[in-house]
Amino acid sequence: MPLVNSRDILLPAFREGRAVGAFNANNMEIVQAIIWAAEEVSRELSRPVDVIIQVSPGAARYAGWSLAAGMVKIAAAETDVRVALNLDHATEIEQVKRALEEGFTSVLFDGSSLPLEENIRLTRQVVEMCHSKGVPVEAEVGKIPKIEDYFTKSEIAHLRSLPPADAVKIIRERTGKSFENLLTKPDEAEYFVRKTECDFLAVSFGSIHGMWDDILPIKLNQLIAIKERVRKPLVSHGSSGILMTQKAAEIKGITLLEGEGTLLDAIKLGGITKINVATAVSIAFINGFIEAWRNNPGEKDFRKLGEHARNRVKEKVKEYVKLFSAGEIY
Ligand code: G3H
Ligand code: ZN
């Protein structure tokens, strides 16, 4: 079917207390894997599962705007799964304009690096531009950092080799108080939404962009306080790194501190309705590709490797989709 407006996907999910996965796609195999995962989970659960596919300005530079958007449109047209196409982390008005021209059905304008009033001013401009075309806007207040803001590449490689609980301890120590200051303040969130009239709000509640495994607990109390002030779908960023469930915490030996929770808690209690996952998808593809190469060194046919990588992405996306729509995993 044609692309669906993300409002039509997220508002019912918000009312029903479930979440929808928003997965970043950078190539054909990833687009296919996301849609096939949603098709398979729909069959397994005997009910339709929606999905949001995201293209960032970086992905649009990599593939070209028209090809990146075109792949998603064509793949959506060939499935019964409802698919929305979201522009992820636009920081310039020109990027939003281009996305609207290309038929994106959802836009994130990220002014979170700007002073609050400047973020409001530009977001409001984007809201007016997008709403005049019926396209909803996600905006961001508070700052979701990336792991590279705190650690060098070689430190990250070391963290990845550690048992999860040790990595969490080191990350907690390094990020410390400065990280707390980036979290979304509930009163600021309420003010921001009132002034901008954005449709969905991305909030900072303990996640960090670009993590390699789901190990970080979230600040659940902070999130609940935001939810009480903002009666709109909230968006989780940096979700690859968020500890998925209590069970995952036990398996990984990670202790939650007071007021902390998991991704499942964020859905059930914190109003998180859209969950952005990029790094986990990218890692699944890379690992699948390497694995296929190792199993068949010297393979000349790209498709043999790409097929395996695509399968790994599909299995990863299925894990998330099941958790988001049915609270199932592990
Ligand atoms: O906007 C995209 C997401 O926030 C993805 O974050 O790469 O840490 O999963 P992630
Ligand atoms: Zn993000």
Among 9, 18, 12, CA closest to 326: 18
Return all residues near 113 (Cβ < 8 A) that are at least 6 apart.
Answer: 91, 143
* pLDDT (0 to 100) of residue 328: 61
Does some domain include residue 171?
no
Of 6, 23, 277, the one to substitute when testing ligand 1's pocket (max ligand atoms within 8 A of C-beta) is 277
Q: How far away, in angstroms, is 218 Cα from ligand 1 center? A: 15
Task: With respect to residue 97, please indicate whether it lies within any of the assigned structural domains.
Answer: yes
CA 252, 177, 179 angle in degrees (round to 5)? 65
**232 found inside a domain:** yes
Ligand 1 atom with minimal separation from the 210 CA = 8
Instruction: Write out the DSSP string of 254-275.
Output: PPPPTTEE-HHHHHHTT-EEEE
Looking from the CA of residue 241, the nearest atom of ligand 1 is: 8
Kindly state whether residue 98 falls inside one of the protein's structural domains: yes
Ligand 1 atom closest to 108 (CA): 1
Q: Which of 240, 272, 323 to mutate to test the pocket of ligand 1 (most atoms within 8 A of CB)?
A: 240
Burial of 191 (0-12, 13-18, 19+ CB in 10 A): middle
Is residue 304 a part of any domain in this protein? Answer: no
* Contact status, residue 209 vs residue 144, Cβ threshold 8 Å: yes
- Supply the pLDDT for residue 329: 55
pLDDT at residue 139, rounded to an integer: 98
Beta partners for residue 53, in sequence order: 23, 85
CA–centroid distance, residue 142 to ligand 2 (Å):
12
The verdict on residue 94 lying in a domain is yes
Q: How far is the CA of 88 from the centre of ligand 1 (A)?
A: 9
Q: How many Å apart are CA 39 and CA 323, to the nearest integer?
A: 15
176 φψ region: left (φ > 0), alpha (ψ -120 to 50), beta (else): left
64-68-74-76 Cα dihedral, nearest 10 degrees: -160
Look up residue 163 and give its two tokens.
């048992």
**From ligand 1's centre to the CA of 46, what distance in Å?**
29
Beta bridge partners of 109: 90, 139
pLDDT at 26: 97
Note whether residue 55 is domain-resident.
Answer: yes
Closest alpha carbon to 205 in 191, 225, 228: 225
Q: What is the pTM of this model?
A: 0.97
Sign of CA pseudo-dihedral 143, 144, 146, 147: positive
Cβ neighbours of 101 (radius 10 Å): 12
SS3 of 236, please? strand
| Residue 317, ligand 1, Cβ within 6 A | no
What CATH number should be reported for the domain holding residue 19?
3.20.20.70
Q: Is residue 292 part of a domain?
A: no
Question: In which domain, by residue range, is 208 found?
Answer: 6-144+179-278
Is the Cβ atom of 86 under 6 angstroms away from ligand 1?
Answer: no
Query: Among 8, 50, 80, 88, which one carries the catalytic annotation?
Result: 88
- Where helices occur in the chain by DSSP H, the ranges are 6-16, 28-45, 57-63, 65-77, 93-101, 116-131, 153-161, 164-182, 186-196, 220-229, 246-252, 263-268, 279-295, 302-326
pLDDT of residue 64: 98
Place of tokens 């995993």: 329
| Catalytic status, residue 80 | no
204 Cβ below 6 A of ligand 1: no
One digit per residue, pLDDT tens: the chain, 330 residues?
999 999 999 999 999 999 999 999 999 999 999 999 999 999 999 999 999 999 999 999 999 999 999 999 999 999 999 999 999 999 999 999 999 999 999 999 999 999 999 999 999 999 999 999 999 999 999 999 999 999 999 999 999 999 999 999 999 999 998 899 999 999 999 999 999 999 999 999 999 999 999 999 999 999 999 999 999 999 999 999 999 999 999 999 999 999 999 999 999 999 999 999 999 999 999 999 999 999 999 999 999 999 999 999 999 999 999 999 877 654
CA-nearest residue, atom 10 of ligand 1? 238
CA of 296 to the centre of ligand 1 (A): 32
What does the pLDDT read at residue 330?
A: 43
The ligand 1 atom at the shortest distance from the C-alpha of residue 282 is 7
For helices 65-77 and 93-101, what crossing angle results, to 10°? 40
Query: Into how many domains does the chain fold?
Result: 1
How much is the pLDDT for 325?
87
Out of 237, 244, 274, 283, mutate this one to test ligand 1's pocket (max ligand atoms within 8 Å of CB): namely 237
